[in-house]
Chains A and B, each alone.
Chain A
Amino acid sequence: MADIQQLNKIASQVRRDIVRQVSFATCGHPGGSLGCADYLTALYFEIMEHDKGFNMKGKGEDMFFLSNGHISPLFYSVLARSGYFPVEELATFRKLNSRLQGHPATHEGLPGVRVASGSLGQGLSVACGVALSKRLEKDDKTVYVLTGDGELQEGQVWEAIMFAAHHKLDNIITAVDWNGQQIDGPTKKIMALGDLNAKWTSFGWEVLEIDGNNMEDIIKTVNQAKSTRGNGKPKVILMKTVMGFGVDYMMHTHAWHGKAPNAEQTETALAQLEETMGDYPYSV
């Protein structure tokens, strides 16, 4: 059984890492990072079988692909806290000569990253390729993908959705960060996504809906998605999250999608997030 309390503690430290990375870099994307902190914590610390020694090919491992690359502070924190690279390196986020690029990249050889992302809409396609390969190799592990909800406005995502269903890639579990916000405002106003559940369902996917900021709900639902392997359907978890979750003044607004808090705002944010695993030092 998952230790929910322990996972929540890890998620709290991950949220501190997000705020501190973005604050120290004076730029980055805290909103979506905070909103998805619970999901990625659950994947890396409970659900996935993965090797922190990092092998690019990921044979015999569950593999995760971040399609909405701008929430890199979250990805980096989770990778560092689960042992892929030293947590001290988080202080280099977005700095010159860092492996922690503004958006995730393989170019600098950061362990844990398998493909660059940032230009939206590409992650699910890559995951389809990995899923095909796992099937070819009779590797029964799962391929996880996280996409934004605004990202679903990219046409390529729907090409991949169609492909995965056609090729019966039931070894893919996609999660959509359904926070209803994008840079220019609420998705409803910018480009309404419509009935997401009906859309994915009609494309042949098995659809699950959860509260993406509830650890218990996440663990239960991902395990449920895993248990239906063999039914020939890829799975999507439509994950209702609150952008900026955990920091009161960042919640329920798109204002903190891509903006760093100042020193005072950083202190206010950190006061709301328990330090559970030790902060890394602010030095490059």
Chain B
Amino acid sequence: MSSIESFSKLDQIIPTGKKSTRDGFGAGLLEIGTQNDQVVALCADLIGSLKMQPFIDKYPERFFQVGIAEANMMGIAAGLATTGKIPYTGTFANFSTGRVYDQIRQSIAYSHKNVKICASHAGLSLGEDGATHQILEDLGMMKMLPGMTVINPCDYNQTKAATIAIAEHYGPVYLRFGRPGWPVFIPEGTKFEIGKALHLAEGSDVSIFATGHLVWNAVEAAKELAKQGISCEVINIHTIKPLDDEAILDSVRKTKCVVSCEEHQRHGGLGDSIAQLLARKMPAPMEYVAVNDSFGESGSPVDLLNKYGLGVQDVVQAVQAVLKRK
């Protein structure tokens, strides 16, 4: 096991407070709207939930309310993109993906339209609304679409930065974020580069690759494991597609084992993308922290994450399990 000194960087990861990632989206949308007058926004009757009001107040002529008609919204976005606009669509993740999969597939992905599909309230941490709204399959659906970029930022600052960054990338993007207040720990101003993993902590015993809200759980687990003398490398994979193959392989070459963490089904999520890469290039023992073929239910975000195996202790146990397989 490594010396305790190697964990110093991990200790520097301290939250500055709690804010939701959807608030990060709202702030990012306002900023990119100011920077780029080609940015337009659409919403399917969820302005408040998506935090889009500041953009609407400042740029009312560049906002389009579509009502409760998500399929139509995707088509309209494709039309706006055809003429050179950069449309950001806003609704819940469930209605941004499964409900409109065919519209995204044909009018956006296959037609290579520059549409930014911005999806809030993803995963179990939506909470009390229950399983009808807690989509856990969206990353899989979206990453299967050829040419689709898939991003799941981990906190307010990263979501804001991602919202701004995706306007500079030509092509369809799925940007996924969530509802609850969540620790803000990525320093403001940290550069967001699509497809480039963010190293949060150097380590030598195990590589933890995490996305979305679970990045924080991975950090907390790594801190706890450090006390047990286990050195975790914590890498934030905010871009699920294109995957940062190099960062993953470089880390696994060193640690020889992997834990993936995501607020998503085990089938089809980040873990599967990593497993596919490792199977081809560098087979290594791996454990998943993900939902195991199940729908969610009503409850508080943290209670739900714990019940469905996505809590801090689940990450700790996954690391302990994978180390035994090394």
Contacts and interface: CB of A to CB of B under 8 A. Distances in A.
A107 B112 contact: yes
A162 interface: yes
Nearest to B113: A115
Interface of A is mostly: helix
B76 A128 contact: yes
A114 to B, nearest CB: 5
B282 interface: no
B87 A122 contact: no
A122 B75 CA distance: 6
Nearest to A155: B71
Nearest to A107: B110
Interface string B174-189: 0000000000000000
Interface of B is mostly: helix
Given A126-B75, A162-B69, A116 B107 contact: yes
B79 A126 contact: yes
A96 interface: no
Given A116-B107, A116-B110, A163-B69, A130 B74 contact: no
A133 B114 CA distance: 14
Interface residues of A, number: 37
Interface string B52-87: 000000000110101101011111111111111101
Contacts of A123: 75
B72 A159 contact: yes
Contact of B71 (A58, A107, A129, A159): A159
Contacts of B67: 159, 162-163, 166
B107 A125 contact: yes
A52 interface: no
Contacts of B113: 115
Nearest to A143: B79
A129 B69 contact: no
Given A59-B83, A130-B82, A132-B80, A116 B111 contact: yes
B103 interface: yes
Nearest to A106: B111
A186 interface: no
A119 B102 contact: yes
A12 to B, nearest CB: 32
A115 to B, nearest CB: 5
Contacts of B75: 122-126, 128-129, 156, 160
A133 B103 contact: no
Given A129-B75, A130-B82, 14 more contacts: A105-B110, A115-B79, A116-B107, A124-B75, A129-B78, A129-B82, A130-B80, A130-B83, A131-B79, A132-B76, A132-B79, A155-B71, A156-B72, A160-B75
Q: Top 7 nearest A-B pairs by Cβ distance?
A: A129-B79, A125-B75, A159-B72, A159-B69, A129-B76, A133-B83, A126-B79
11 contacts: A115-B79, A115-B107, A117-B106, A129-B83, A133-B80, A133-B85, A156-B75, A160-B76, A163-B66, A166-B67, A167-B64
Interface of A: 56-59, 105-107, 114-119, 121-134, 136-137, 155-156, 159-160, 162-163, 166-167
Interface of B: 40, 61-62, 64, 66-67, 69, 71-85, 87, 102-103, 105-107, 110-113
